[in-house]
Structure 1
C-alpha cells in the first residue's frame, strides 16, 4: 500500500511539473489596460519620466496628458500657447495652432519631441522638433524645422515622425503618410536633424502612415496604420507590422512579403466597440513592451479614445 501511495504521489507531482512547464512556455494573452479619466485622444505617444507617465497627442498647441500610474489620465498644459512663426511657411492652410502626431523619446540626456503641421489631404507639411531636459519642468525649446514637403515638389509627406535609436546608438527618424508611403533617415546626433539618405520602407495602396519602429532580439519591427482614420466609427484604420534585420529594411510580414510591396501582417483591426485602431506608439517599459493607440468608441458617439495594451512576442512576432 505504501509503494502504491508513493507512486500516486510521484505521478501527481510529475503532472504538476509538466503543467507548470507548459504554462510557462505558452505566451500569455497580453493585458488590455482599463483606462479612466481624460482618455479622449488621437495619435498618442507614450513615455515615462520618473513615476509620471506622459502622452502627447494630436491637438491644439500640441496637447499633453499625464498619469501617475498609466491607468488614470488627466489633461496637462499644451506645449505651444500659440503658433510658431515658421509653421505656416510650410503649411499655410493648416488649422489654427493645430499640431499633429507627436513622438517623444529620451536620448543623450534630453527629451526630444517631434511633431508635424500640415494641410489635411495635402503634403504641404513640416516636421518640427522641440526638446527639454525634463517633461515635468517643461523647459521646452524650439529646435526648428526638421524636414518638410511641398505639394507638387516632393513625393513624400513630412508627417507622422517617430524617433528610433539603432543598436549602435545612432538616431533615425521614421516619417511619411499616404503619397509614397513610409521613409526613414539617419539623424545627426548633435542637431537631431537628417544627416543622410532617405530610404523607403513601406508603401501600400489605400493608405499607410504612423510608422513606429522598435528593436528586439535581432530584429527591427515596423508598426504602421493602414486604411482611413478620422471618420469616427466608419474609420477603416488597422495596425500592421513587419520585421527586418536592418533598420533601413526590407521589412517583411509573416508571409515573407516586403512592406515596400504592400505587405504587412495585421495586428489589430478593432472589434465591435473599438473601431479603426491606429496612430500607434510602441514603448519599452523596463523589459516589457506596451502599445498605445487610439480607436473610435462605438459606445461613446465614435469619439477617439486612448487604448493601451501589453505587447508580447511569440516566435519572433508581436501579438496582443
Structure 2
C-alpha cells in the first residue's frame, strides 16, 4: 500500500512538472535579445552553422550580426554608395535610404532583395545584390528586378523570395494601392518571369508580405503587415496571416475570408511595451522576426524574434 501511494505521488508530481513545462514552452517563445537591436523591417538568416545576420531598412541596408542569436552587434552597411540605376529609375528616392530587404540562400549564393522608393509614391523599384559570403561581404549589384510607376496597380516594394513545394521560386511584393502580388522567379536570372498575381488587399494599409510553405500542413501561409507603420508608438501595424493550397491563392483567414477581399487573421497586435509590430520575415517555418516600437524608448524601432509554432489545426502562433 505504501509503495502504491509513493508511486502515485511520484506520477502525480511528474505529470504536474510536464504540464508546467508544456505551458512554459508554449508561452516562452520570444527570444531575449541584447546589444544593438535597433532595426526596421528586419530579415533573418544564419550563415551555415555559424553567424546569424539581420538586414533591415536604413542607410545602404543596415546590417546586424550575432554569434548566438541573442547578442547583436551593428555591422557594415551593404551599400557605401548608390548604384547608378537608382537615380534613373527612382529619381526622388532619398540617397542611400533603402527599404525592407529580404535575404535568401540558393545554389551557393546569398540573394539580398531590397526596395527604393519615395514615401507614399508608386514610383518604386526592387533591386538585387548578391554575395558568396556574408562574412566576407563580397556584394555585387545585380541591378533592377522590378519597377512600378503611377500607371501600375501595384507598388514595387517589400520583396520576399520563397520556394513552392516543388522547389520553384516565387517572389511576393507590393503594398497599399491594389495590395500584395506574387510572381514566378527564374532560377537563372533570379528575376521575375511571367505574370504577377494579386493575392491580398486591405483598406487602411497592407504591405510587408512573407510567404512560406509548410510541408507538415500542406499549406502556403501569407504573412502581412496591416495598418500604418513608421509613426512610433502611434503606429497601427499588426501582423496578420492567411493560408492557401496554391501558391497563387486564394489565401483565406481562419474565418474563411479571402485576403483579396480584406481577410487576414491577426497574430500580433502589440502590447503595453511594444506597439505596431510588423515588417515581419519568416526563416524556415520556425522563426519569425519583426520590428516593434518601444514604449519605454518613445517609439524607437527594435527587432523582436520569436519561435514560430503551429497549432493542431495548422495555424501559426507565437508569443
Shared fold (TM-score, shorter chain, > 0.5): yes
Query: What pairs up with 1:1-320 in 2 under 5 angstroms?
Result: 4-12=1-9, 15=12, 28-50=26-48, 51-151=50-150, 153-216=151-214, 217=216, 218-284=218-284, 289-315=286-312, 316-320=314-318
Provide the C-alpha distance between the structure 1 equivalents of 2:55 and 2:101, rounded to a whole number of angstroms: 6
Contact 1:112 1:131 survives alignment (8 Å): yes
How far apart, in 1, do the equivalents of 2:187 and 2:100 lie? 22
Alpha-carbon distance in structure 2 between the residues aligned to 1:6 and 1:35: 48
The alignment partner of 1:8 has SS state of helix
CA displacement 1:184-216 (0-9 Å, x = unmatched): 001011101111221111100001000001111
List structure 1 segments (4+ residues) > 2 angstroms apart after TM superposition: 4-27
Distance 2:166 2:21 in 1: 33
Structure 2: state its 5+ residue gaps.
none
CA contact (8 A) 1:125 1:149 kept: yes
- Show CA shifts across 1:94-134 (max 9, x none): 11111110000101111111000001001100000111111
Residues 1:19 and 1:132: Cα distance change in structure 2 (over 3 Å): same
Distance in 2 of aligned mates of 1:212 and 1:248: 13
Task: Give the Cα–Cα distance (whole angstroms) in 2 for the partners of residues 190 and 257 of structure 1.
Answer: 36
Question: Residues 119-169 of structure 1, C-alpha deviation per residue, up to 9 Å, x if partnerless?
Answer: 100110000011111111111111111110001x10100000000011111
Distance in structure 1 (CA, Å) of the matches to 2:63 and 2:153: 31
Q: Secondary structure at the match of 2:308?
A: strand
Distance, in Å, in 2 between the alignment partners of 1:133 and 1:84 is: 20
The worse-fitting range, judged by mean Cα deviation, of 137-146 and 230-239 is: 137-146
Deviation for aligned residue 1:236: 0.4
Distance (Å, rounded) in 2 between the aligned partners of 1:5 and 1:222? 57
How big is the shift at 1:21? 7.3
| Deviation (angstroms), 1:60 | 0.8
Q: TM-score scaled by structure 1?
A: 0.93
TM-score, normalised to structure 2, is: 0.93
